Amino acid sequence: MENSTVLTSEQITSDLLPQKFGKRGMIWTGILLLFCAFGAFAYYRQLKYGLVVTNMRDYVSWGIYISNFVFFVAISLVGSLITAIFRLANVPWRTPLTRISEIIAVSAITFAALIIIVDMGRPERLLNLFIHGRLQSPIIWDVIVISTYFCLSLFLLYITLLPDISILINAREKLGKPFSKLYRWLASYWKGTTAQEKIRNRCITIICIVIIPVAFSIHTVTSWLFATTYRPGWDSTNFGAYFISGAFLVGAGGVVVAMYIFRRYYNLEKYITEKHFEKMGRVVVLLALLYLYFNINEYLVPAFKMKKPEEAHLTQLFAGEYAPLFWFAILVGMIIPIFIMLFKKGRKPLPMFIAGVMVVVGAWFKRYLIVTPTLLHPFLPMEDVPASYHHYFPSWEEWAIAMGSLAGVLLIITFFARVFPIISIYKTLTDKNETQQSS
């Protein structure tokens, strides 16, 4: 990094130390807390009255909770992409992005687990999954891989944080009291000796290798929750790859958005440089093309044949009730961002930010489109049920809970950035030393 070579170590440290919330930070946190509180209230109502407060019914038995779950699992994959895959591929510019992607991964996977509990009709029987769990159910596979991924991601985040925490402990005069106890509890044993450093490095390498297949499995298994059924739109052998490519896309989009915001708000222009946006832009274009490719497979091939059960489903997506949303997700979630980022000018921070937001929003609706319209096209006609069962639009409780969970993810990231450096100080310093030595 040409930029950081001119920076002194002291400056790097002081630039990257966590900062107190400013006024804007307070307002932002306050808004998120409000959303969470509102979501919690809606969930309280759901616990009290049951899932009737949602608009899910016998046909649309999975709604935005599940699509939100898929979205969270998808976005959490980015932790493994940027940290593990980039590390193993030795991508040199990853340093300022790894921590961002890791905390996105941890917070998203946490809320994926929570939202799935919210979706349960009997959350108090959660333990039945362990008491009576049956290994042939894809849900159990999901429970296993998601908890594994959660632990691995958390551990990866922690172990990469260690040297930074000891920097934080040393910077006590500057940071003041608030979290010093926490820092000491987390990392007082860390002395940075060569032996410790060696173990740490080995751990990171092992986790980076292990986390890749686990990351692939969390989303593959999540796709199998759908693909193991007979339903038109879900009954596809393409689903695992389709989900994973989409996951990497939304994750990368999310990282771009976070990069932009942290860079602006924490004045990190010297660390998250235009070059990083330029490189991420290329990555996102590649991933978007890949996802587009799988989408074409997923829709064009069945549409070519138009088997009877698929027909109603596909025509409704292409030209029916769900068409606006469908084309929105395809255009805004993939095609327009590709066009923006294909050009050098489009890979500047602001257009990248806009494209990133488009990718993430498009991806959220895409998940909704994967889950819901299929359920409205069962094999047998929908009769002998109340008329309201023929349609689905989420109730306010569902929106509140979904939004609350999204706010929750952002809240974890926000608090994390308040307590810990969002760019690894230690790694930035090592990178700097290395470049100095080589030049």
Partner 1 sequence: MENKSTSRRQFLAAGILAGIAAGCSSKKNPFDKYAGDDVKASGETVKLLSVDGEIIEMDKAFLKPVPDLPTISNSEERKGINGKKFAMVIDLSRCKNVGACKTACNHAHQLSPGQNWIKVLEMQDADHTAPYWQPTTCMHCDSPPCVKVCPVDATFKRQDGIVLIDSDRCIGCRFCMAACPYSTRVFNWGEPVLEKEVAEQHYSCETSIPQKKGTVSKCDFCPDMARKGELPHCVSACPNGVYFFGDMNEDSVTNGAETFRFSDLIKDKAGYRLMEDLGTKPRVYYLPPVNRNFPFESGLENESPEDKMTH
DSSP string, 365-415: HHHHHHHHHHHT--SS---SS-GGGG-----HHHHHHHHHHHHHHHHHHHH
Interface with partner 1, residue 312, by CB under 8 A: no
Tell me the residue type at 82.
Answer: I
Residue 59 found at the interface with partner 1 (CB under 8 A): yes
- Distances in Å between the alpha carbon of 225 and those of 41, 61, 83, 140, 299? 29, 13, 27, 10, 19
Per CB under 8 A, 324 contacts partner 1: no
Q: Indicate which single residue of 186, 208, 221, 225 sits in contact with partner 1 (rule: CB under 8 A).
A: 225
* Six token digits for residue 351: 């257009």
CB of 307 to partner 1, least distance (A): 11
Question: How many H helices and E strands in the chain?
Answer: 20, 0
Restricted to residues 386-405, the positions that interact with partner 1 (CB under 8 A) are 386-387, 390
Rounded CA-CA distance 5/228 in Å is: 53
417 in Cβ contact with 262 (< 8 Å): yes
Q: Which of 9, 58, 267, 343 binds partner 1 (CB under 8 A)?
A: 58
Q: Which stretch binds partner 1 (CB under 8 A): 48-56, 178-186, 263-271, 352-360?
A: 48-56
Find the binder of partner 1 among 2, 23, 24, 121 (CB under 8 A). 121
Q: Are 208 and 83 in contact (CB under 8 A)?
A: yes
Site residues for partner 1, window 328-347 (CB under 8 A)?
none
From the list 71, 226, 420, 426, which residue makes contact with partner 1 (rule: CB under 8 A)?
A: 226
Separation between Cα atoms, residue 346 and residue 339, nearest integer Å: 8
Does 50 participate in binding partner 1 (rule CB under 8 A)? yes
Which of residues 181 and 308 has its CB atom nearest to partner 1 in the complex?
308
Binding span for partner 1 by CB under 8 A among 35-43, 220-228, 253-261, 420-428: 220-228
Q: Residue 24 has which token pair?
A: 């804007």
Spatial distance between the Cα atoms of 60 and 56, rounded to a whole number of angstroms? 5
Which region holds residue 54: left if phi is over 0, alpha if psi is between -120 and 50, else beta? beta
Task: Specify the DSSP class assigned to residue 332.
Answer: I
Q: How far is the CB of 120 from partner 1 (least distance, A)?
A: 5
The least CB distance from residue 229 to partner 1, in Å, is 5
> How far, in Å, are 35, 251, 410, 412, 435 from residue 108 at the CA level?
16, 10, 9, 9, 34
CB of 255 to partner 1, least distance (A): 31
Name which position in 137, 170, 205, 430 contacts partner 1 (CB under 8 A). 137
Residues 141-170 that bind partner 1 (CB under 8 A): 143
Binding region for partner 1 (CB under 8 A) out of 56-64, 93-101, 277-285, 322-330: 56-64
Q: List Cα–Cα distances, 116 to 69, 133, 368, in angstroms.
A: 6, 16, 15
Count the site residues for partner 1 by CB under 8 A: 48
Closest to 165 measured CA to CA, from 426, 430, 435: 426
Q: Does 320 bind partner 1 (CB under 8 A)?
A: no
Residue selected from 37, 40, 52, 323 as contacting partner 1 according to rule CB under 8 A: 52
Q: What is the rounded CA–CA span in Å between residue 235 and residue 368?
A: 17
Q: Which is nearer to partner 1, 34 or 385 (CB)?
A: 385
Closer of 13 and 55 to partner 1 (Cβ)? 55
Residues 167, 14: contact at Cβ < 8 Å? Answer: no
Given 2, 8, 90, 136, the residue binding partner 1 (CB under 8 A): 136
Compute the least distance from the CB of residue 242 to partner 1, in Å. 18
22 versus 50: smaller Cβ distance to partner 1: 50
Encoded amino acid at 390, one letter: H
Token digits of residue 105: 């991964």
Task: For the CB of residue 49, give the shortest distance to partner 1 in the complex, in Å.
Answer: 6
358-387: contacts with partner 1 (CB under 8 A): 375, 378-387
Cβ proximity to partner 1, 129 vs 336, nearer residue: 129
Cβ pair 133, 140 in contact under 8 A: yes
Residue list 227-246, contact with partner 1 (CB under 8 A): 228-231
**Which tokens is 315 given?**
């025509």
Q: Which chain residues interact with partner 1 by CB under 8 A?
A: 49-52, 54, 56-59, 61-62, 119-123, 125-126, 128-129, 131-134, 136-140, 143, 225-226, 228-231, 375, 378-387, 390
